[in-house]
Homo-oligomer: A and B are copies of this chain.
Amino acid sequence: MGTTQLETVPEPKYWHLKTVLGEALDSEFQVGEILPNERELAARFGVARATLRQALEQLELEGRLQRRRGVGTTVAPPRVGVDVSTARHRWPAAGDDSWQAVDCAAAEPPVAVLRLLDAESDAGTGGAAHADGPVYVVRRLRATQGQAVAAEQLYVPASSVPGLVVPGTQSGTALARRVLRELERLPLEGQDRAVELGSARADDAKELDRLPGAPVLVVTTRYLSGGRTAAVSVATYRADTCRLTFGDAGDLRIAS
């Protein structure tokens, strides 16, 4: 009783809410403007806070909202187009100032990365092209317009950078730059790339100023040199704020 049950289609409340809110965002709000808090919005729409939050989550997923704990919910700017095109045979460092090397250390890569590094080795031999030796993990950060948009781990087997000399103790970021410089000496023959949805690991989330588990676009790149996989990059892009572009002709310019 009380509920008029106006439609035969029981469209979920949060879905309808999302639509209504989305239209309101278009017509009544400016980018950066702060919305009423969740408790008030829920009351205003006559729903529980959890239901309201379900709608907000979707809008945030679509990049229309930005929520920050302790602050509030704001209207997000349009997603920034981030170029991830397979720039004609270039190493990840070459002439790209949007990436900033942060750290580097020898470490054991996850098995998924190991499989990529060994991808060209004969299945029968079992063993390894270069996965047995140490692998340098270079951590880099990508920023666009002052905003951190991606965190990357670049896995470089020591066998790919034979010319590298490692002095005893050296700052991680200096080592990172040296590994990248050595890498550029190899002839780059091609690259593989894949994009999939993931959720941010705790460390990546912190660098991207998001909570752990935040939705991210994971770009995996395999750099090929000498018939082998010379390096593997796993880059984690904020899915809420980024649109990955692969243009022959640059941006898609969705906004203006």
Contact = CB atoms under 8 A, between A and B. Distances in A.
A15 B217 CA distance: 19
Main secondary structure of the interface of A (DSSP, over half): mixed
Interface string A111-134: 010011001000000000000000
11 contacts: A62-B199, A116-B253, A190-B248, A192-B250, A193-B245, A193-B252, A194-B252, A195-B195, A196-B217, A196-B244, A220-B252
A124 B224 CA distance: 46
A246 interface: yes
B194 A246 contact: yes
A14 to B, nearest CB: 8
A123 B247 CA distance: 21
Given A58-B213, A112-B254, A116-B254, A248 B192 contact: yes
A217 B197 CA distance: 8
A150 to B, nearest CB: 13
A245 B81 CA distance: 19
A242 interface: yes
Contacts of A6: none
A109 interface: no
Interface of A: 15, 18, 58, 61-63, 79, 81, 86, 112, 115-116, 119, 190-199, 212-213, 215, 217, 220, 222, 224, 239-240, 242-254
A19 to B, nearest CB: 10
A10 B191 CA distance: 41
A56 to B, nearest CB: 13
Contact of A224 (B191, B239, B246, B249): B249
A245 B194 contact: yes
Contacts of A247: 192-194
Most chain B Cβ neighbours within 10 Å, of A220, A248, A250: A248
A243 B196 contact: yes
B217 A195 contact: yes
A247 B229 CA distance: 13
A61 B199 CA distance: 8
A79 B195 CA distance: 11
A213 B248 CA distance: 31
